[in-house]
Amino acid sequence: MKYVTVFGLIFVAAFAPAFGQDAIPEDDGKLRIICFGAHPDDAEYKSGGTAALWAKQGHHVKLVSVTNGDIGHWQMAGGELAKRRTAESAEVAKRLGVTSQVLDIHDGELLPTLENRRTIVRLIRQWNADIVIAHRPWDYHPDHRYTGVLVQDAAFMVTVPFFCPDVEPLKKNPVFLYSSDRFQKPYPFEPDIAVAVDDVFDQKVKALTALESQTFEGGALSSAEQAAKSPPASQPELREAWLKERWVKRQGNEAKQFRSALVRWYGEEKGQAVKYAEAFEICEYGRQPSTAEIRELFPFFPAETE
């Protein structure tokens, strides 16, 4: 517990307990990206490919699960599952070349409380983020919705000096992005940015094979019969091929759906050739980047479109 004195008052840094918290990297001039997902698979699914691209260029990416996923399985639950999913998330991060953290908040019980807002603000400040990614606050799952709300609520507060004064406020506001979804109301996802992940697609699939409780056993709404449809753990090559087939469709659909955004950022020829993509929408809160700034934040984009 850290104590900070401000104007004669003592403030206590009451951090939410967390699993898998890694050291903050030194300031080396590289980009710093923090991706929030509601559960220990969401950020990995939505941003894993783009995270790997940043990491390959030496930039610092952190994947944060805001809940511990302790009811996200049809057969097991509680602390045993939370530890298992935290370990799975950490292995995915290792394979992507990034870092991860899982907050010890019960799955299905996340609320947009003041204390949770403070936790999110502290995490963004500690990472000194240039980019923050999260769910949109319109989603089928309450944990997804409230993760989006909490990150939205942090978008201004990360720069306010006397909110969470135990952690130094950011000197510049990050760019806040939403990851893609299929929901239409109050308005559909708008692909301001689309990233070609062809070069890291196989790496992402291989990384996601570590999420065994979700990818092969099926998560909270599965069953023994459904889990039996995936190849057994004794056949890892078949498992990877089985999972790749599903992600070819999923990531391929993203490329088809957001083709115009890919053409905008990669040019006509390259944009039309992209097979697999991840897409993001710029949140109206936080810094509003110019086209040139977006290319700096996504340095794997070509400098100019053809």
What residues does each domain of the chain span? Answer: 14-196+278-297
Instruction: Please give the backbone phi and psi of residue 301, each rounded to the nearest 5 degrees, phi first.
Output: -70, 145
Over residues 230-286, the pLDDT tens digits come to 999 999 999 999 999 999 999 999 999 999 999 999 999 999 999 999 999 999 999
pLDDT tens digit sequence for 180-223: 999 999 999 999 999 999 999 999 999 999 999 999 999 998 99
- Percent of the chain having pLDDT more than 70? 92
Q: CATH homologous superfamily of domain 14-196+278-297? A: LmbE-like (3.40.50.10320)
pLDDT band at 6 (very low <50, low <70, confident <90, very high): very low
